[in-house]
Amino acid sequence: MDEFTLLATQVVPSERQLKWQQTEFYAFVHFGINTFTDREWGTGKENPKLFNPTELDADQWVSVFKSAGMRGLILTCKHHDGFCLWPSRYTSHSVASSDWRGGKGDVVREVSEACRRGGIKFGFYLSPWDRHEPTYGDSDAYNRFFLGQLRELLTSYGEIFSVWFDGACGEGPNGKRQVYDWEAYYRLIRELQPGAVISVCGPDVRWCGNEAGHCRASEWSVVPAVLREAERTAEKSQKVDDGTFARRINTADEDLGSRDAIQGVRDLVWYPAEVNTSIRPGWFYHAAEDDGVRTVDELLRIYYGSVGGNACLLLNVPPDRRGLIHEADAAVLHELGRVIRDTFATDLARHAKAVASHTLDSEHGIENIFDDNPDTYWCPPLGIEQPVIEVDLGQEVTFDRVVLCEHIRSGQRIENFTVAYRSGDDWVECYRGTVVGYKRICCLDRTNTRYVRVHITSSRGYPTLSRLGFYLEKR
Backbone CA torsion sign across 28, 33, 35, 37: negative
CA angle 234, 236, 241 (to 5 degrees): 115
Residue number, 166 or 320, with CB nearest to ligand FUL? 166
**Residue window 39-68: x/- pattern of binding to ligand FUL, with contact defined by CB under 6 A:** -x----------------------------
- Strand blocks (E) in 188-340: 197-200, 206-207, 222-224, 237-241, 246-250, 268-270, 273-278, 311-316
Nearest approach in angstroms of CB 233 to ligand FUL is: 14
Site string for ligand FUL, 115-154 (x = CB under 6 A): ----------------------------------------
Which residue's CB is nearer to ligand FUL, number 207 or number 270? 207
Task: Please state the closest distance from residue 311 (CB atom) to ligand FUL, in A.
Answer: 16
Beta bridge partners of 401: 443, 471
The alpha-carbon radius of gyration of the chain (Å, integer) is 24
> Based on CB atoms, which residue is closest to ligand FUL, 85 or 468?
85
Footprint (CB under 6 A) of ligand FUL, residues 333-352: none
Kindly state the smallest distance separating residue 129's Cβ from ligand FUL, in Å.
8
Query: By C-alpha distance, which of 129, 248, 123 is closest to 197?
Result: 123
Of residues 83-112, which lie at the interface with ligand FUL (CB under 6 A)?
Answer: none
Instruction: Specify the DSSP element, H or E, that contains 290.
Output: none
Burial class (CB in 10 A: 0-12, 13-18, 19+), 176: middle
- Binding residues among 382-441 for ligand FUL as defined by CB under 6 A: none
Min. distance of Cβ 40 from ligand FUL in angstroms?
6
User: Nearer to ligand FUL by C-beta: 168 or 212?
Assistant: 168
Cα(66)–Cα(56) distance, integer angstroms: 18
Toward ligand FUL, which CB reaches closer, 316 or 359?
A: 316
Kind of pairing between the strands at 72-78 and 25-29 = parallel
CB burial readout 21-57, b (16+ within 10 A) else e: bebbbbbbbbbbbbbbbeeeebebebebeebebeebb
Contact call for residue 168 and ligand FUL (CB under 6 A): yes
> How many whole angstroms separate alpha carbon 41 and alpha carbon 95?
18
* Amino acid found at 235: E
Of the two residues 76 and 112, which places its CB atom closer to ligand FUL in the complex?
76
Residue at shortest CB range from ligand FUL: 168
Residue 265 CB, nearest distance to ligand FUL (Å)?
Answer: 27
x/- string (CB under 6 A) for ligand FUL, residues 21-40? -------------------x
Pick 165 or 377: Cβ nearer ligand FUL: 165
Axis crossing angle, helix 58-67 with helix 327-345, rounded to the nearest 10:
40
Question: CB 207 → ligand FUL: shortest distance, Å?
Answer: 9
- Residue 231 in 3-state DSSP? coil
Category of 289 on φ-ψ map: left (φ > 0), alpha (ψ -120 to 50) or beta: alpha
Q: What does the CA dihedral 279, 281, 285, 287 come to, rounded to 10 degrees?
A: -110
Give the binding-site size for ligand FUL (rule: CB under 6 A).
Answer: 5
- To ligand FUL, the closest distance from the beta carbon of 367 in angstroms equals 43
Closest to ligand FUL by CB, 270 or 283: 283
Residue 342, classed as helix, strand or coil, is helix
The CB-of-168 to ligand FUL minimum distance in angstroms stands at 3
Distance of CA 357 to the CA centre of its chain: 34
Name the residue type at position 38: D
Q: Which lies closer to ligand FUL via its Cβ, residue 112 or residue 276?
A: 276
Q: How far is the CB of 58 from ligand FUL (least distance, A)?
A: 20
**230 to 289, contacts with ligand FUL by CB under 6 A?**
276, 283
Give min distance, CB of 414 to ligand FUL, in A.
Answer: 31
Rank residues 133 and 166 by Cβ distance to ligand FUL and give the closer one.
Answer: 166
Residues engaged in binding ligand FUL (CB under 6 A): 40, 166, 168, 276, 283
